[in-house]
Structure 1
Amino acid sequence: MQNLASIQKENCRTGITNLQDLSPFIPDGCTLLLCTEGKAVISTNTRKRTFCKGDLLLLFSDILFTPLKVSATFSAEYIYLSQVLMEEIFYKMTSAEFWACVYNYPVCHLLAEQYSIVQGLFMQMQWALKNCNDTCQKTILQNCAYNLFLGIDTEYKSALPSLMQNIRKDRAWMLFGKFMSFLIKHGCERRDVKFYADRLCITTDYLYKVCNKVEQRTPKEIIDTFIITEIKRYLNNTNLSIADLAVCFHFEDSSYLCRFFRRMTGYSISGYRNRT
């Protein structure tokens, strides 16, 4: 069983994961997960969701993915495609509605027929990774991924027409997506709302309105949740000292980091790290 965070050292990868390490994960490119057994409670950009047998999960580089609770029988096939492989697909997928729907509904609850189609695409990509040279492999992987996204876009537009109409009219969706992209890129260094508002060329007041409309939370709450998730990821996967973590996350000192962590989680840092 594979830890998702470890798969991104290659251009593409396929395998099986049980998500048992519960580590937060931000894809570099695209990761597709097809649940074949069991059930998991997950969060994407801090929104809680259910991921069950027969579901497809789409993760891109503006989505922070965190497994929260996983059943003992959970298993999912994954396909990882790097940013380099995805660039042409990103260029061709011009549907703003598709990207907004993927952000809001990254878990696709598939019908039996849809599951068979997706499983077939997974099998084609797995075959290409095992049997094709680099040029042929790239073409097959990109075509399969693009066809999958086109199919999902078609289903979204059919199933969610009212959402599509709102997205077409609503600039807030676009601004919020850009805000999350900036947060994932700069969140470890910058926690001030003004920094992100300036990046978006809007006022802090308008960013508060955007976040409240899309997420019913303030940008500060979203930033703090992202930071605490990242700190937990470091605590789960590294042996960095509290002082090193304070430097890494640009806190004034260790005591400030400790107070922030306790306020957000109810744990001390050492208590969280030593939990069973």
Structure 2
Amino acid sequence: MRLGVSTLAEGLGAPLSFGSAYLVLLVCVSGRARFALNFREIALQRYDVLVLAEDTLALVRQRSRGFLAMACLLPKALASEVAYVLPDTLLTFLREQPHCVPSPLDVPLLQGWLHQLMDAQHNSGRQRHVMLRNLLQNFFLKMVTLLPKQKRAPAQVSRRQRLAWDFWERVGQRSTHQRDVQSYAEALCISPFYLSQLTRECFNATPKALIDRQVVLEIKALLTYSELPIGRIAERLNFEDASYLCRYFRRHTGQSLTGYRRAGQGGTGP
């Protein structure tokens, strides 16, 4: 599990990417932000919680200068352990309503839970995994007691939004080996021009910019969380050679691969 505080600056105006996380908890700890979750606008303020599944399309539309979020990234194995004791009604509800607003009485409980979670995360003892699992289960079980008796009907998604969402899902699945806009447009049975219209409308970015952004995130993840040499990273991400990978990364980030790895950027947060 990964746990850290983030400004989510890299996600402003483009889909957020959390690597291989299966489930993400975001808790706003300061400031405010506006999100689009599966094309539904959400206003996030202090101590609001977002529960994001791996297929949730999340964008940061706006954020205040002091916005910070505690991000808890769960791998699939841990998320499955946590979900084992949870009722299906909660999981269904959270997929439809991922924005949770605690009552004033529950805010101190949330603050205490965050402190316990951080303490457990930094515990190097043998009980660390059990502590994290139990804390996360307690968090969601508390949610069960707060479930409303009636759920709102899920929002309708237009065909244009669905196509944009399908494009972003394909980028997440294929960007390591497919980086040309034409192939994505053909897979969606639309023209590159129409795809560009969709992504500008929904994400305020071109298809190529979104593809490149995802590739850069993949490179950063391998630099930060693996010890693979540059040549192996180039092979894994289907670049012609290490030299081309270096030029690509510098063009999009202004940094060298070795410089980024040495600095250890992103090592403690999402």
Deviations 1:214-262 (A, max 9, x none): 33335x344213035568989xx99x86xx2333x26269x92233212
CA spacing shift, 1:14–1:263, aligned 2, 3 Å = closer
- 1:105: how far off? 2.0
Q: Quote the Cα distance in structure 2 between the aligned partners of 1:261 and 1:71.
A: 29
- 1:126: how far off? 1.1
Match of 2:193 in 1: 258
Residues 200, 206 of structure 2: 8 Å contact kept: no
Identify the match of residue 227 of structure 1 among 159, 162, 166: 166
Are residue 131 (structure 1) and residue 123 (structure 2) matched?
Answer: yes
Letter in 2 for 1:146: Q
Residues 181, 207 of structure 2: 8 Å contact kept: no
Q: Quote the Cα distance in structure 2 between the aligned partners of 1:50 and 1:215.
A: 16
- 1:79: how far off? 1.7
Match of 2:245 in 1: none
TM-score by length of 2: 0.64
Identify the match of residue 105 of structure 1 among 97, 106, 109: 97
Residues 39, 52 of structure 1: 8 Å contact kept: yes
Are residue 246 (structure 1) and residue 182 (structure 2) matched?
Answer: yes
Letter in 2 for 1:59: L
- 1:151: how far off? 0.4
Q: Quote the Cα distance in structure 2 between the aligned partners of 1:250 and 1:129.
A: 42
Match of 2:22 in 1: 29
Match of 2:9 in 1: 20
Give the number of aligned pairs: 204
Q: Quote the Cα distance in structure 1 between the aligned partners of 2:79 and 2:30.
A: 28
Residues 13, 81 of structure 1: 8 Å contact kept: yes
- 1:118: how far off? 1.6
- 1:66: how far off? 1.4
Letter in 1 for 2:164: T
SS across alignment from 1:35: strand
Q: Quote the Cα distance in structure 2 between the aligned partners of 1:263 and 1:145.
A: 37
SS across alignment from 2:49: strand
Identify the match of residue 41 of structure 1 among 34, 39, 48: 34
Q: Quote the Cα distance in structure 1 between the aligned partners of 2:199 and 2:121.
A: 43
Residues 55, 169 of structure 2: 8 Å contact kept: no
Residues 160, 198 of structure 2: 8 Å contact kept: no
Unmatched segments (≥5 aa) in structure 1: 1-11, 167-212
Letter in 1 for 2:150: S
Match of 2:137 in 1: 146
TM-score by length of 1: 0.62
- Greater relative contact order: 1 or 2 (C-alpha under 8 angstroms, separation 6 or more)? 2
- 1:150: how far off? 0.6
Percent identity (aligned):
20
- 1:54: how far off? 2.0
Deviations 1:153-177 (A, max 9, x none): 1111xxx2122xx8xxxxxxxxxxx
CA spacing shift, 1:252–1:58, aligned 2, 3 Å = closer
SS across alignment from 2:2: strand
Q: Over aligned residues, Cα RMSD in angstroms?
A: 3.5
- 1:69: how far off? 1.1
Q: Quote the Cα distance in structure 1 between the aligned partners of 2:117 and 2:187.
A: 47
SS across alignment from 1:24: coil
Residues 46, 225 of structure 1: 8 Å contact kept: no
Q: Quote the Cα distance in structure 2 between the aligned partners of 1:221 and 1:262.
A: 10
Q: Quote the Cα distance in structure 2 between the aligned partners of 1:153 and 1:20.
A: 32
Q: Quote the Cα distance in structure 1 between the aligned partners of 2:32 and 2:192.
A: 34
Q: Quote the Cα distance in structure 2 between the aligned partners of 1:34 and 1:268.
A: 26
Which consecutive aligned stretches of 4+ in structure 1 deviate over 6 angstroms post-superposition? 231-234, 270-273
SS across alignment from 1:112: coil
Residues 26, 63 of structure 1: 8 Å contact kept: no
